Structure 1
């Protein structure tokens, strides 16, 4: 059964094809299609051999585009043919009985014909508009759905597919999605591939997705690693954890903090990742600069998808990061951040000014992206007006409005929100949808928050999860 993330190579104008493909395979590519017609045969043969070896190292399938003779020479796993290429029967005679043949199609009739000719899979597209094709070549999701009903072989959706589009294609019935520029043109192919590859987790049974939280302990149980594990577990994923600090705190505030030695933090981190692994990582309180830098290095080396909650100030006003940690967060961790989730005071700490309007939030978010964060969610709970969050999703700006609840029992909101986002990403939701679901979840948790202790009580993880999971079939 052919399934998983399918990568098609670009024209290698920058000469970095092997490096980009290696990174993308690390990020989760399962099928690689080598497309190269306009280079010398000897160079093409050498590159194909090197790519085939990379695929073997990562247990990925290697497919050659259009050239069954080359596929046979390098012992590729198969060949992909277009409508104007040689018949599948002829290609089968060249590559052998046990190899894969894929055929591009644009409608139900072509897909049925490809299946009848012996295609092992059918590529259908262009699903969305692409920069290289005009409007007439777009077949859309409706055609994908029709083809899915008509043929029994696996389907690969191709053409203009963003992560959000890939999610739609998979929901419509595709077994795989083929990406070119979405990975090959990205400055970080490994992380781009990881973002796409996580989408295939949607079909897995619960607990669905593995989420690693790297954070401090809240002895009061409302925030920190305790809130993260509650959130991840109640929403249906598997939680692992790395403790960075112990705090003596309750609803009235933090009375003392005991940092965990950096070497032991890293021992925890490496031990978990070497065995269990993680689909996503959520960071919270990182205590001091040495921990921040070494955690950032691990995220970089292992191409992890990190949701970073820059825990800088406690609810009672106590500083939770020293200056060295602040500097390391900006210089080392932000460039490795998939999603940064600061509140307005944290934005002020990171950028030097605290936004007071939505326009200023956008300006600050762009600055944080310039510092390295791939995407930014600025939480607007401290605004004097509506509780509006802004998601800067690459170049796109998404406004997320929510109801403001009159309660001072909001301990753990930031930890819970970021943990929920990391959970939904690990479960196979694209970022915008993961953030929307997480915002709804935290809204329920705030609405049902309860008083315990004498200060700021916690949000209600259990009540929110029970209602959210009850509503989930309708939401999906």
Structure 2
């Protein structure tokens, strides 16, 4: 079956092709198409055999571009044909009835013809401008929609697709999106692949996606792993948890912390990931350098996007991250972080820069990105005046202003905010949109917070989730 992330190899000939493809497969690529038009056939066959073995190991489909002969000799699952290549019938005779045959198309008529001739899927493109072909004819999303309505076989959107454009192609009806440079040229191909592969979760059943939160326990339920799991579940995702520390706390403050041994934190994480698996790992209170190291290794081993909330200080002022753990977080966890979500004091501690204004927030975000975080969301609740959050997504900067609410009941705000982002991401919502939805969620949770205890009460997770459901229902009307 052709679906999900469809990786096309580039023609940048180096000795890391297999390594990059293996990383992309680990990140969630479901189809790999080997493309190199200029090499001798013997060299192509040898390279294709190596890639075919990687795909078999990962349970992915392996396709050879243009040449049924190379596909046949290398043991590929199939071939992808252009309009001027061999016919579907010729490829079928060589590859047999089980061979997977795809055809590039630019019009509804070409797609219908390919389907009638026995193609197993059609590629449609180029959807967007691309640098991989000089003679590209743009067909756009509307042609993609028309082809999707016209044929019953899978449709692959091809051309110029990256993280920010993939969701549009999926919404237009693509069963798979083909990418080249967005994954192959990325310094972290596993994470780049996972980021796009997650977008297909939007078609899954509810609860949609799985989040593993690694955090401390708050017996009052307003923050920590309890708040994470409430948020994740209320928003429609399956939540799992590994506890890093037990705390004795209430709305007035933290009375005591009992850290979980490093090895047992690792056992919890691996027990979940080796069996249930996860789409995203979200962190909260990690407490010690040893636990930070455990989490960093788990993220790297499983090629998981990590939403890292660098919890350092409790509302009442108690330290929740040991001093030596801050260095470990910078050194070991930031390079594996998909989204870092610090507030302003946390951003100062991690970046070493003053962060008191919106301009300083941007500078700190860019510094943290250079330190390894792929994307950075700086929460501006500590700003003087109207608060604004800044998201540095790749090279793009996005502002999320909000109202300031006059309430002491903000316990667990950061936990719920980052957990909401993680939940939306695993549901197939693109990053910028996921942050926007999570911002609405946390703003409503603060606005409707009610007093519990005699200190900083919790935010209202339930009411915020209900408000988002009502908003989604009204948008469908």
TM range (shorter): over 0.9
Partner of residue 398, structure 1 = 398
* 1:229 matched residue in structure 2: 229
Relative to structure 1, the CA distance from residue 97 to residue 164 in structure 2 (aligned partners, 3 Å threshold; closer, same or farther) is: same
Larger deviation: 209-218 or 136-145?
A: 136-145
Return the alpha-carbon distance in structure 2 between the equivalents of residues 134 and 445 of structure 1. Answer: 51
3-state SS in 1 of match to 2:274: helix
Query: Hey, what does 2:357 align to over in structure 1?
Result: 357
Q: How far apart, CA to CA, are the structure 2 residues paired with 1:352 and 1:89?
A: 64
TM-score by length of 2: 0.97
CA drift at 1:474: 4.5
Partner of 2:170: 170
1:227-266 to 2 correspondence within 5 Å? 227-266=227-266
- Per-residue CA deviations over 1:439-470 (Å, capped at 9, x if unaligned) read 11111111111100001111000111112123
- Inter-partner Cα distance in structure 1 for 2:136 and 2:103: 20
Residues 103 and 114 of structure 1 are in contact (CA less than 8 Å); yes or no, is this contact kept in structure 2?
yes
Q: Which runs of 5+ in 1 are unaligned?
A: none
CA contact (8 A) 1:405 1:446 kept: yes
Q: 1:243-322 alignment to 2 at 5 Å? A: 243-322=243-322
Residue correspondence of structure 1 range 83-162 to structure 2 within 5 A: 83-132=83-132, 137-162=137-162
Q: Which residue of 2 aligns with 1:16?
A: 16
Match of 2:441 in 1: 441
CA 153–395 in structure 1, closer or farther in 2 if over 3 Å, else same: same
How far apart, in 2, do the equivalents of 1:475 and 1:38 lie?
51
- Cα contact 1:4–1:197 (8 A) shared by 2: yes
Question: Whole-Å Cα distance in 1 between the matches of residues 40 and 68 of structure 2?
Answer: 16
Structure 1 residue 212 corresponds to structure 2 residue 212:
yes
Once residues 10 and 473 of structure 1 are traced to their aligned partners in structure 2, the CA distance between those partners, rounded to angstroms, is 43
Q: Name the SS for the 1:275 alignment partner.
A: coil
Encode CA deviations 1:83-118: one digit per residue, 9 max, x unaligned.
Answer: 121222222222222211101111222212222222
1:381 corresponds to which residue?
Answer: 381
Structure 2 equivalent of residue 35 of structure 1: 35
Q: In the aligned structure 1, how far is the partner of 2:264 from the partner of 2:152?
A: 52
Q: Contact 1:287–1:320 at 8 Å: present in 2 too?
A: yes
Aligned residue pairs total 476
- TM-score, scaled relative to structure 1: 0.97
Instruction: Find the counterpart in structure 2 of residue 348 from structure 1.
Output: 348
Give the CA deviation at 1:14: 3.0
CA separation in 1, counterparts of 2:461 and 2:366?
Answer: 32
The answer on whether the counterparts of 1:18 and 1:51 sit within 8 Å (CA) in structure 2 is: yes
Structure 2 gap segments, 5+ residues each: none
Please give the alpha-carbon distance, in whole angstroms, between the structure 1 residues aligned to 2:151 and 2:425. 31
Q: CA deviation at 1:130?
A: 2.0
Q: Post-superposition shift, 1:377?
A: 0.3
Distance in 2 (CA, whole Å) between partners of 1:93 and 1:189 is: 36
Task: Please state if 1:339 is matched with 2:339.
Answer: yes
Counterpart contact for 1:129–1:135, Cα < 8 Å: no
Q: Aligned partners of 1:129, 1:224: CA distance in 2, in Å?
A: 45
* Range with greater deviation from structure 2 (135-144 or 88-97): 135-144
Distance 1:327 1:165, change over 3 A: same
